[in-house]
Structures are given as structure tokens and as C-alpha cells.
Structure 1
Amino acid sequence: MAEKQRRAATSNDSEKFIVRLPDGMRTRIAEAAAANHRTMNAEVVSRLQQSFERPSGLISDLSLDSDRRLSLKTLAREIAKALRDELSSITAQQTRSAPPAEATKVTKRARTTARK
């Protein structure tokens, strides 16, 4: 009886929020709730609570000390710079190997004349 009163009090004190779930999400929540030995509502609330407790952002989400996080940021910057440099190099090579615009026009005219 006390359990029923506690649940009634909790339900009355809580806000209801209706949500539309994508196909299959309800099943996944039900499976996770069963695996964690709790209700679907408790599963959803627990997962939402966890999402608010951890810092946001890719590097922040990693549970690493600040030195390790800093080295990952440095590595990410170095990779980004290397990719920019490589892209610039490829672009420069394509520009050098492409025929000049005037030569392209002459070649097109020659083809057109040859077909006539």
C-alpha cells in the first residue's frame, strides 16, 4: 500500500511530456530498460539525466585528463593543417597541368574545323 501511495505521489509531482519516437525506438528503449531492470520511463529519464551531466563537445566527451585532451586538440589541429596543405598541393598541381584557357579555345576551334 505504501508503495502505491509513493508512486501516486511521484506521478502527481512529475510533469508529463509526450514524445513522438521514430520507428523502432520504443523497442530499443524497452530492451534497454529490461536489461537495466527498470521501467521504460526510468530508462529514458536516466539517459536524459546522463546527457545533461557530461560536458558537451567531442573532446570534452572523452573521459581524459586535461593534458591528454590538450594533446588530442593539438593532434587534430596538425591533421587539419596537413589536410589543408595537401589540398593546396593537389589544387596547385591541377592548375599547373591544366592547359591555358587560350590553348583550350584553340584546340576546340581546331576540332570544330576538322569536323566540317
Structure 2
Amino acid sequence: MEKIDAIWHHPYMAGDSDKDEFPSDAADRFQVRMPPGMRDRLKEWASANGRSMNSEIVDRINRSFEMDEIVARTPEIHLQQQLSTAKLQHDLARADYEATKQILQRMEESVINSEATMQAVLQMLEQVRAEREATARPSGKPPDTRKK
């Protein structure tokens, strides 16, 4: 019974209410005319989302403002993405260049080593040929100096 008396004697219920007593009383009010059927749709969505119709309207308006801000920033975001992509492509190209440069250096070293190896092999073959000729020639004959 005390709870009922407390509620009944609350300043808002007693008729001598202050407009600032409840937060909703301090909020701005605005009447909206809606096309036929929109109020019913709004009521359905509010119910599905577990909100009052007023909360549903405020949420949808806030989301539209957020979307406008996103759209306004889209060119900037797009340019930032393009810049990031360009930097990444530059870094990849630089890495490819460095890798290709190292491969070419190794190939050059390999060719130089191969040339040196080939020179050594040719010298050994020349020595073997000279030794064969020396052993195959009769002792009194001069060596064959012709190039073959």
C-alpha cells in the first residue's frame, strides 16, 4: 500500500509536476507526418527490435547520420586505400628488384666460376693430350706442333 501511495503522491501524478522531472519531458519533441502504412511498419520493426516506436525512430535517424558521415569520408578512405596499395606495390617491386639483382649476381659468379673451371679443365686436357702424344711418339721423332 505504501508503494501505491508513493506513486500516487509523486509530483508528476499529483498534477504539480515539473517538466524536468522525467528525462523524456526534457527532450525535444517533433511531430512527423508519415505516409500510409509507415506507422504500422515502424511499429512492427520496433516490436521486433524490442524498442518503443520513439526509440526505433531515433535509432534509424542516428544510423542515417552515421551512414552520411561514412559516405562523406568515402573519397578520403578510397584515396587512403589507393595510397596503401601503391606503397605495397612499390615495396613488392623493390623486393622483386633486390631478389632479381641477387639472382643475377649469383649467376654472374657462377659463370665466372664456370669459366675458370672450364679453363682449368682445358689445361688439364691439354696436358693429358701432350702426355699421350709424348708416350705415343717414337723417341727419335720431333713433337707435333700443329694445331688440330
Taking structure 2 as the reference length, the TM-score comes to 0.34
Larger Rg: 2
TM-score, normalised on structure 1?
0.43
Higher relative contact order (CA 8 A, sep 6+): 1
